[in-house]
Chains A and B, each alone.
Chain A
Amino acid sequence: MKVKDGSEVVLMLAGCSAWAAVNLFRGFTSASVPLIPLFVLLGLCVNSLLFPILFCCSLVGLISTALIPWVVLVSGLLACTAGRTMKIRVTGFISVAATLWLIPVSLSIPVVILAAALVFISNHRLRYSLLPAGFIVSAIFFGLPNSLITQPAVAGSTIAEGILTYSIPELNTLRPEVLLPAPCDGPWAVWVAIEAGGVRDSIPMLAIRLGEDMLVLPSGTDTLCFTMVPGDTLAITLLRDFRPFNHSVIHATAGGERL
C-alpha cells in the first residue's frame, strides 16, 4: 500500500486511536501497551513488503488481548530481520523490548539479544540467517518462551439421565493441567481413559491426583476408575516440559454414573 510521504503518520494515529478505543471500552490492560510501537512500526513499513503481515498482526492484536504478546513479538522480530532501514529495525526492537516483560526473563534473554543484534547488522544475508539460527539455538539450549497461561483448564461436564460426561481439552506443554470437578450433588463413579504420547521414552509422563492420592503414569493407554463426592476435584497433569522434537500430548475422555 504505497502512500504519499507523511501519510504514514495518519496510519500510526489511526492505529493508536483504535488502541485507545479498545482500552476505553474493554478496560485498560497493560498487556495492550506493546500495540503502540506495533502501530508506529506499521506506519514506517507502509511501503514495504512487511506491511501485509504487520497489518494482519495489528488486527489480531486489536481483536484479542491475549494474543498481543505473540503478534507484537513476531512483528518486532520480523521487522528486525527483514527491515531495510535502521529506523524500521530499531522500532522493531522497541516492539520486542516492550513485550518482553510479559514473558519469563530466562526465556526472553535469547529473544532480546537476537533482536538487538539484528538491529545493528547491516548485512542482510547475515541477518536473514540469524533469526533461524537464534530459534534453533534457543529451542535446543534454552527452551521456548513459555505459556502465559498459569491457571489449569477446567473440563466441561454434562449430566443426562444420571450419566456424567466430561469434555476434556487436549493437554500439551502449553496447557499442562486440567481439573475435573465432581458434580455438586451425590457420590459418583468416574472413569478416565487416557492416551498419552508424543515422547520418545518411557519415563513417567503424567500424574493423576484426587485428594491425597496421586498416580504417576508413563506414555500409553490407561483407563482408571474413581469414586468422587461433591467438593472433589480430579487433576490430570502433564509432567513433561518442552523438549525439541517431542510433542508431549494427552488425550483424555472421562465420564461417570451416579452411585
Chain B
Amino acid sequence: MRDFLRNYLHSILIAGFGAWIFIAWRLAGMPDPGFSGRIIPAAWLLAGILNGRNSHIRWFAPVVFAFTAGAWLWMLHPGGWILTAAVAVAGLITWGISVPKGNSYGLIKAVLPVLLLSILTAEINGDEVRFAEQASTISGISSHRFSERNIRAGDISASEGHHTPMFPLIISPGLLAGDRGIRIIPVILALITVLILAKLTDPRIALVAALLYPGFGIFGLAMTGWMAAGLFALGVLLPEGRKWSVVRLLIALILVALKMRYIGVAAGILVAEYACMPARKRKWIIPMIWISTGALILIVDRYFLNGIIFWIRYGNVEALNLIWANIFHRPLDTVSHAAWSLVDPEAGLFFRAPWVLAAISGLFVFRRKQPAQFKRLFIPSILYWVFLIVWSGSSWHGLPAPAGRMFVPMLPLFAGGLAYVWKEKETRLLIIISIAVSALVVASPACRYNYADGTDSILSLLGVTGGFSMVRSNSIQLLTAVLLSTAMLIVLGKWKKYRLLSLVIIYVSTFLVGIYPDGYEAEDLSPEMVQGARLYPYVSDPVERYFWFNSRERMLELSEPGQSILLPDIQAGDTLSLLISGGGGILAIGGEMITVETPIIELPSVYQSIGRSSRTLPDWPENRLMEEFSMVIEIDQIESRAIRILHHSGPPVYLDRIDISRGSISQ
C-alpha cells in the first residue's frame, strides 16, 4: 500500500483535483454545473488515471490555488466563472504537454483528456453536417439527422455541394455509430497525425500543435485540416528515392481530391520534390510535364466533361479570372488580406496562436540545420498560404467555421520551427498565452467560432468590443499590428540579449487590442440603445457578406414602426453623425425628418466577367453607397438627456455607424 501511494501519489493528486473541481463548482454555485461542471472534473479524473507514475507536476499547486481563488470570487464578473473553468482546463493542457511520452501510447494518453473536452464542447458545425449528409448519401449508411441533403450558401445545386466526395467517404463508417459517430474517423486521423508530427519533430512539439491553436480549433472535428496536415507531414517523413517520389505525387493528388484548397500544398510538394532532386541534364522537363498534364486535365474536365471532376464553386478555368483579378487588379487588397490573415483577432494566426511567432523565428535555424526537410515543409506551406489568399481573396478566413482552421495544413512547418526554439524562455511565454486561449475556448465553447463581423468572441467574453479588425479595416491599425509582429520576430530571432523586449511587445499589443473604438458600430449597439431593429443580413453567417463590394460589416435595419435607437448622454450642441444608406426611407431624428437616398455602387468592370454569367449589382441594401449625415442637436430634440432615432416611413434605412462629437454649448 505504501509503495502504491509512493508510486502513484501524483496520479491520486490529479484525480483528487478533479473531485475538488466538482465539489468547488457546486459549493460556489457556479453556472453550468450539469455540463462544464461535470466534463472538466471528468477530464481531470481521466488525466489522473492516465498519469501513471509521472511526477512532473510542479505547475500543479498554482493551478489548484488559482482555481480555488477563482471559484471563490467568480461572482465579481459575468466572465469570472469562465475564467475559473479556464484555469482548470489550462492545467489539463499543461499536464498533457508536460507528461513524459515514451511511446505512441504515451503520446495518445497525453492528448486524450483535452481531446475529450474539445469534442464535447464543440457543437457540430455546418461543414460537419454537410460532410455527414454527403457521407450518408455516398455510403448509403443512414443516419437519423443527416440523411437528407439540404442546399446551403456556396453550394452549386441541391444535389451538388462545394465539398469533394473523398473526405465524406473516408469518414462515413463512423455513421454506423449514429449521428455523433461522424467524428470517430476524424479523431483517429487527428491522433495519427499527432503521431506523425511527433516522429517528424518531438512528442512535446506534436502535443503543442494538437492542443493549441490553430490545430486545436478543429482537433477531433469532422473537418479536413488534420488529415491534410497528416498527409503533408507523412510525405516529408518518407525517404528520398524515385519510388518514394511516386508516393509523394500520390499524396499530392489525394490532397487535391480531399479539398481543392489544398492544391497549394500539393503544388508545393511537387515543387519541393523537384528542388530536392539531384541536378542532372534536362531536369526542367519534369516540371513542364507536370504543368502540361495538370493544364490538360483541367481543360478536358472543363470543356469535354463539363467540369464533373474538378467542379469548384466559382467555375473551373473561370476561377483563374479571380486569381488574375486578385493579383493584378487589386494587389493592395490582396496584400492587406495576407497581412490580416496573420494579425486579425477573429481568424488571424498570431492572435490565437502566438506560439507560431516563436516557431517562425525557429525556421531560420531549421533551414540551416536540416535544409532538405526545411524545403519539403516550407515550400508547400508557403504556396498553400499564398494560394489561399490569392484564390479566396477576402474570404480567406473560412468563417464561421472554427477560427484558425485554414492554417492547420501549415502545422508541420510550425512544428518543425518550434523544435529549434523550444528551450527559449520567450517561447514558453508565447506558449503560455496560447494555452490560455485554448483553455478559454473549452471553458466558453462559443469562443470557438467567429462570424467575421469585427467582434472576436474571446475579446467579447472579456468585455472588449474592439475596433481593430479586418472587417472594420483600418490600414493604420494593420500597419501597427504588422510592425509589432515584425518587432517580436526580430527580438525572438536576432536580438536575444534584449529578450525582455518581447514582454514589452506583448503588453503593448494587449493594450492596443483593449482600446475601445470611438463612436458606435451598428453591430455593437447595446440592447439599452436598440429597440426592435434587426441587423442585416438577418443571419450572422459571413458567407452572406462574402461578395459585398461596399463594406462587409453588418448593418442595422430600421424599417418598421416600433423600431428605434435611443442614444444616451446627448447634450444640445453635440454633433450627431450617421453613416447610413437607403432607397428613399424617412428617418425621424429627435422629431426632425430626413430622407435617406443613396446611390447604388458601380461594380468594377473587372468583376463583371468573373463567374459563368455577367454580373450587375441588384438594388440590395449592401449595394447602396453609405453616406455620412451630420446634424447639430437642438435642445428641443432631446428627451431625458437622450435622442431617439425612428423609422418614419418609406423603404428601410440601413445604419452602419454613429459618431457623436461634443459641442461647445453645454446645458
Contacts and interface: CB of A to CB of B under 8 A. Distances in A.
Interface string A232-248: 00000000001111111
A25 B515 contact: yes
Interface string B552-575: 000000001111100000000000
A66 B78 CA distance: 9
B534 interface: yes
Contacts of A66: 77, 463
Contacts, number: 233
B113 to A, nearest CB: 19
B664 interface: no
B508 interface: yes
Contacts of B504: 14, 17
Contact of B77 (A70, A81, A144, A162): A70
B62 A49 contact: yes
A53 B75 contact: no
Interface in A10-25: 10-11, 14-15, 17-18, 21-22, 25
A52 B68 contact: no
A211 to B, nearest CB: 18
B78 A159 contact: no
A243 B560 contact: no
Contacts of A10: 500, 503
Contacts of B644: 184
Interface residues of A, number: 87
B530 A69 contact: no
Interface in A127-169: 128, 131-132, 134-136, 138-140, 144-149, 153-162, 164, 167
Contact of A22 (B24, B58, B77, B514): B514
Interface stretch (B161-169, B202-210, B425-433): B425-433
B464 interface: yes
B528 interface: yes
Contact of B70 (A50, A74, A132, A184): A74
Contacts of B464: 63-64
B506 interface: yes
A145 B70 CA distance: 11
B483 interface: no
Given A26-B516, A63-B459, A185-B562, A149 B78 contact: yes
B66 interface: yes
19 contacts: A49-B62, A50-B62, A52-B62, A52-B432, A56-B436, A60-B83, A64-B514, A111-B73, A144-B72, A157-B527, A158-B532, A159-B560, A172-B31, A184-B646, A188-B562, A244-B26, A246-B29, A247-B31, A248-B29
Ranked 10 nearest A-B pairs via Cβ: A183-B562, A159-B532, A156-B527, A63-B514, A77-B69, A18-B507, A185-B562, A64-B462, A185-B561, A52-B432
Interface of A: 1-3, 7, 10-11, 14-15, 17-18, 21-22, 25-26, 49-50, 52-53, 55-56, 59-60, 62-67, 69-71, 73-74, 77-78, 81-82, 103, 111, 128, 131-132, 134-136, 138-140, 144-149, 153-162, 164, 167, 170, 172-175, 181, 183-186, 188, 198, 242-249, 258
Given A159-B533, A184-B646, 8 more contacts: A10-B500, A69-B73, A78-B69, A135-B27, A145-B75, A172-B31, A247-B33, A248-B29
